[in-house]
Amino acid sequence: MGEEFRSVQLIDGDGEFNFPGVEHFMKATRLAECGLSYAVVSIMGPQSSGKSTLLNHLFQTDFREMDAFRGRSQTTKGIWLAKCVGIDPCTVVMDLEGTDGRERGEDDTAFEKQSALFALAISDIVLINMWCHDIGREQAANKPLLKTVFQVMMRLFSPRKTTLLFVIRDKTKTPLEHLEPVLREDIQKIWDSVSRPDAQKDTALSEFFNLEVTALSSYEEKEEQFENQVAELRQRFAHSIAPGGLAGDRRGVVPASGFSFSAQQIWKVIRENKDLDLPAHKVMVATVRCEEIANEKLSHLTSDERWLELEEAVQSGPVSGFGKKLGSILDAYMSECIKEGSSMTNKAPSEFKEIFNSMPPRYDTEAIYFDEGVRTAKRKQLESKALHLVHPTYQALLGHLRTKFLEKFKNDMEDALKSRKGFASSVRECSQTSILEFDQGCADAAISQADWDASRVREKLSRDIDAHAHSVQNAKMSELIRRYECLFEAAGKDTWASIRNLHKHEAENALSEFSSSLSGFELDKVAFDEKITNLKEFARSVVEKKAREEAGKVLIRMKDRFSAVFSQDKDSMPRVWTGKEDVRKITKNARAEALKLLSVMAAIRLDENLDKIESTLLSTLMDAPIAQERKPVTSTDPLASSTWEEVSPSNTLITPVQCKSLWRQFKTETEYSVTQAISAQEAHRRGNSVLPPPWAILAIAILGFNELMVLLRNPLYLLVIFVVFLLFKALWVQLDVSSLFQNGILSGFLSLSTRFLPTVMDILRRLADEGQGQPHVPQNPQHPPLDALSFRRDSQRQAQLSNPVPDASSSSSTLSSPRSGVECPATSHMVDADTEASSTA
């Protein structure tokens, strides 16, 4: 017999539930795949009444049977479970431990009652095995046990309807038609004698049980007849759960996938002697199993290769068909099982059709037989968790779409502006196109399982488009303003002509776009012309506003123009003042350029009217002497007026009086640059002359001739001067004159007068000691030891040998204070010089 048909102990003799064994049994028999299409059959009866033998012949199971040759004893301990062979639907049979057994004794009947109640709670059909000769007896036929079980059954709020099939063993000559009424009457008496709650006092036995009776001949005496009767009885178990079958009207069936958990929980409640609420138990089993199924599906979704590939693809950019792919993946774990050829499979992408058939069962498939309320609630939780898992990827996709279509808007906007389309129309068309394609991308990414809102991302895209359009508009306006500024800075003869052309071009473009926009409003001609006129006036006001701003900076512009012309040559290179340049001419040209700029900025010339501002300024300010410029303004002065000829006051930026004042200030502030240039030329000339002036050479030759001849005739004077310098330097260092005068001149002289003579005497004494070759004994006890002096002296001699010609600074630097005890080599040079002088004399 195969492993799937082997029996397994469900509950042992001590009442312990064998959950691992039941799980293994369910996997071997594939019971969980049956859904609601399965039946549970159990058998109860006295010990050694042939229960296991009947089940083995009836269902072809392998329950252990009693060996009659070894005596009558307990064979089945606890409750055993096996799968019936060759019966449809799948039927599971339980073999219960026999009642009234010698092994448990007279008083230990708790397990009998518990196992009987357990069988009634989970079985669809209960076989009650009884002897034919026990019918009509009060204490036989399991009557006490049935009474106890019926009493316990009253505690069930809504028990499942169970079929009680009484199997009369070793049938005698008494016909079954006479035995069955007696048995039914006994069962009804037991039911009527059971105390019931008020709510169930009038409840009939048929509301709880279906009573069926059958009889079998003796297995030992009439084996062949017994086999035939068992075969006929076996036919009644075929399609037992169909309408009209033995268990056709059963209620409260637990799905097969929850059988092990349900049986374990029911046995736990029975053993704890608690009230067994089957409806609540059914909900509890549905809750646990549906949650297990949901967690299993979510775990499979998390590790699904298609989902992982889709998630990775989204990280790098938009994915076409994202919504269909993701929806198919979610449906594969949640919706009803999809078979080949169904409408849902036909709608799914072709690459998923083969995968659907190899997928594990969906949530709806596995949980379909559990309580509807629990199943629906757990499905919603599974949907929520699954959508929470995939939603970040959806958001990332929307982010890619926003970036993509924002870039598209930028590129389309740039191309439209290059093709010289109107700015406003370009923004409008490109914006509509990008938003429309973004909406299409969002629709492609949507899934049927969720109503995700992409409005926030859409609004952000719209804001980004508006921000970019605004930045481009500002850039264009800035560019336009810079063009005006460059024209004003150049300020040549063609400045206002260029401004008029630029103003005309931009105004015509704006008017064209504005006219196209207004045409959709169907305005009358008066209103249309009024709005066009307002736009023209606005365009003119922009130019006038910028012109007035630049007119306020005219003095700075004039100085910049003067500096550019004055400080740079024709090649725009910095000018070097070598003395060959004509500063006066350069200054005149630079001022003339600055005056031209002033004439350009003096008035607005958008109407192409001719004026004489430039000629007036040139003739009055450039050709007139300085004294005339500084004269008070008179009536004959062309710049005495506050208006220009042929220029309206509204177009006047700088009045003639203001021009004269600005020119005077300009010349004052630029005069320094001219003076600096002249000074640079003079400095360059002086720097290039190698010899002093002739008069200086002549004066030196006449006044210094005698002194020069004296030094040349007697070089001893040079040596004396050098020795005096060294002595003075030594006294300066020894006395530390600079520090003496830090506290004031008077205190410095007093300190110098007190220390001068001792210092001179000390120097002379040291010189005398050096001349006699005797070591000088320092008077100051703080002088360093002799070893230090000799070491320093040797170091100085080595330095003199390496550099035999010391300069004055190095000689004087060896002088030290008599307090420090450091010898003074400079004095030795002085003594040698005196000795040499005396020998020469």
Q: Which residues are known binding-site members?
A: 45-52
| CA 225/CA 169 separation, integer angstroms | 12
Peptide bond into 279 cis (omega under 30): no
Give the integer Cα–Cα distance in Å for 655 and 640. 9
* Dihedrals phi, psi of 217, to nearest 5 degrees: -75, 175
Query: What gap in Å lies between CA 566 and CA 593, rounded to an integer?
Result: 10
- Contact between 196 and 159 under an 8 Å Cβ cutoff? The reply is no
Longest Cα separation, the chain: 183
DSSP 470-534: HHHHHHHHHHHHHHHHHHHHH--TTHHHHHHHHHHHHHHHHHHHHHHHHHTTT--HHHHHHHHHH
Sign of the CA dihedral 828, 831, 837, 841? Answer: negative
Going by the DSSP 8-state scheme, the letter that residue 97 receives in this structure is P
CA 456 – CA 502 distance, rounded (Å):
42
CA dihedral sign of residues 301, 306, 311, 314: negative
- Give CA–CA dist 731/752, Å, rounded: 11
Please tell me the distance from the alpha carbon of residue 557 to that of residue 488, in angstroms, as a whole number: 9
Round to whole Å and give the CA distance between 732 and 331. 106
Q: Is the dihedral of CA 96, 99, 104, 110 positive or negative?
A: positive
Alpha carbon separation from 830 to 364, 761, 816, 833 (Å, rounded)? 121, 15, 15, 5
Q: Do residues 822 and 816 make contact, with C-beta atoms less than 8 angstroms apart? A: yes
CB distance 401 to 445 below 8 Å: yes
Q: Report the distance separating Cα 66 and Cα 778, nearest Å.
A: 135
Q: Is 580 helix (H, G, I), strand (E, B) or coil?
A: coil
DSSP run (H or E) holding 130: strand 125-131
Which one, of 45, 117, 121, lies nearest residue 76 by Cα?
A: 45
Per DSSP, what are the bridge partners of residue 129? 167
Q: Are 90 and 28 in contact (CB under 8 A)?
A: no
List binding-site positions for GTP. Answer: 45-52
* Phi and psi torsions of 486, nearest 5°: -65, -40
Q: Which residues contact 643 (CB under 8 A, 6 or more apart)?
A: 649, 652, 655, 656
CB burial class (10 A; 0-12, 13-18, 19+) of residue 712?
A: exposed
Distance between CA atoms of residues 102 and 439, nearest Å: 82
Measured over the CA atoms of residue 698, residue 700, residue 704 and residue 709, the dihedral's sign is negative
